[in-house]
């Protein structure tokens, strides 16, 4: 939601999550509406049915921000398919990642590297207050 405080008014921000969370996201948007600089909406996005959900979201997008989205290995392939469907050539995905297993890491990066070029953001380029190099990595994937 913080991104909505920084974007110019001509931009829009769509926050997605599973359907069960969307009402809470919308309440948070409403509570922060006076601080937002652009339009912000919350919509469901089910990676197993991304074609249906992305049609409502007016994908593809120029920029996708993804944080803490990998926690179950079985959802990695649906996530990657969704990211590919949500982007176009030249789009970027800023991906904040916490490794939970070396096997999941291998599956994730092998799948993403088939569709995107990957650049890891150096720790020194991250804000010192928010970086946690022992746990969190930041990547920029370009399609």
Question: What is the arithmetic mean of pLDDT over 81-105?
Answer: 94
Q: How far apart are the first and last CA of the chain?
A: 24
Predicted confidence at residue 4, as pLDDT, reads: 45
Q: Which residue has the higher pLDDT, 6 or 137?
A: 137
Predicted confidence at residue 58, as pLDDT, reads: 81
pLDDT digits (tens, 9 = 90+) for 101-133: 999 999 999 999 999 999 999 999 988 888 888
Residue 76: is its pLDDT beyond 90?
yes
Predicted confidence at residue 10, as pLDDT, reads: 61
Q: Where is 128: in which H helix or E strand?
A: none
How far is 4 from 14, CA to CA, in rounded Å? 9
How far is 55 from 51, CA to CA, in rounded Å? 6
Q: Which residue has the higher pLDDT, 56 or 18?
A: 18
pLDDT digits (tens, 9 = 90+) for 2-34: 554 445 456 778 889 999 999 999 999 999 888
Average pLDDT, the chain: 88
Annotate 71-132 with DSSP letters as a single string. --GGGHHHHHHHHHHHEEEEEEEEEEEE---HHHHHHHHHHHHTT-EEEEPPGGGS-TTT--
In sequence order, the β-bridge partners of residue 44 are: 17
Q: What is the pTM of this model?
A: 0.87
Predicted confidence at residue 3, as pLDDT, reads: 54
Whose tokens are 């926050």? That residue is 15
How far is 137 from 94, CA to CA, in rounded Å? 11
Predicted confidence at residue 57, as pLDDT, reads: 86
How far is 36 from 133, CA to CA, in rounded Å? 30
């Amino acid at each position: 939601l913080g991104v909505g405080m920084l974007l110019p008014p001509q931009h829009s921000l769509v926050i997605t999550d599973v359907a069960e969370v969307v009402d809470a996201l919308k309440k948070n948007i409403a509570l922060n509406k006076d601080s937002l600089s652009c339009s912000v909406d919350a919509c469901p996005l089910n990676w197993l049915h991304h074609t249906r959900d992305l049609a409502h979201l007016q994908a593809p997008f120029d920029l996708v921000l993804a944080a803490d989205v990998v926690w179950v290995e079985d959802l990695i392939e649906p996530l990657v398919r969704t990211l590919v469907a949500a982007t176009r050539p030249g789009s970027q995905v800023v991906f904040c990642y916490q490794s939970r297993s070396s096997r999941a890491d291998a599956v994730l990066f092998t799948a993403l590297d088939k569709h995107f070029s990957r650049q890891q953001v150096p720790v020194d380029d991250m804000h010192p207050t928010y970086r946690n190099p022992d746990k969190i990595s930041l990547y920029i994937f370009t399609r």
